[in-house]
Amino acid sequence: MLRAKTSLDISTADFKAMIVPQPGGRGISIVAALRRLAARGVEIRLLHAGTPSAAALVELRAGLPPNLTIRRCPRLHAKAVIIDCRAMYLGSANLTGAGLGAKGDCRRNFELGIWTESSALIDGVLEEFNALWEGRRCVGCGRKDVCPVPLEEPAL
């Protein structure tokens, strides 16, 4: 993710504060890492299902750069990270410390996923991501009772 040059599309059911290791030094929070990418001009779209953790919300409330957009869809359970439309992680891990292995050995989740540069697979996942992002799946959604504002961008 940190090597993205133009775009980063993330779908995750759960988004929590976590520390991202940095070469030769202390780690930084995931929100700070996303801000750094945005400052370099990377367009970031983060689509998640629930309310971010309290610690993540504190950081997010400090403001988002214009090219870091966060939307929420309560039905989302897909996990994918698409980097520059050329490389992708697709699997079970949420964007959390436990999901990405940042917790201790006895506290990490057991996850499965693949890393691919297959354009056919990436294109298919990106098409579904875009359909969700643009609200095309909201038409006829049977869960409007839990989503009164489809694809709401959080009031931080």
pLDDT, tens digit (0-9, with 9 covering 90-100), for 77-101? 999 999 999 999 999 877 765 556 5
Q: Which string of b and e fits 53-64 if b means at least 16 CB within 10 Å?
A: beebeebbeeeb
The DSSP bridge pattern shows strands 43-48 and 25-29 to be unpaired
pTM listed for this prediction: 0.86
pLDDT at 96 (0 to 100): 67
Fold of 7-146: Endonuclease; Chain A (3.30.870)
pLDDT, tens digit (0-9, with 9 covering 90-100), for 37-67? 999 999 999 998 888 888 888 888 888 888 9
pLDDT, tens digit (0-9, with 9 covering 90-100), for 98-147? 556 555 677 676 778 899 999 999 999 999 999 999 988 888 888 777 77
pLDDT at 152 (0 to 100): 52
Question: What is the C-alpha to C-alpha distance for residues 38 and 25, in angstroms, rounded to an integer?
Answer: 21
**Residues composing the chain:** 156
Residue 8 neighbours by CB under 8 Å, 6+ apart: 1, 34, 37, 42, 43, 44, 45, 81, 82, 83, 84
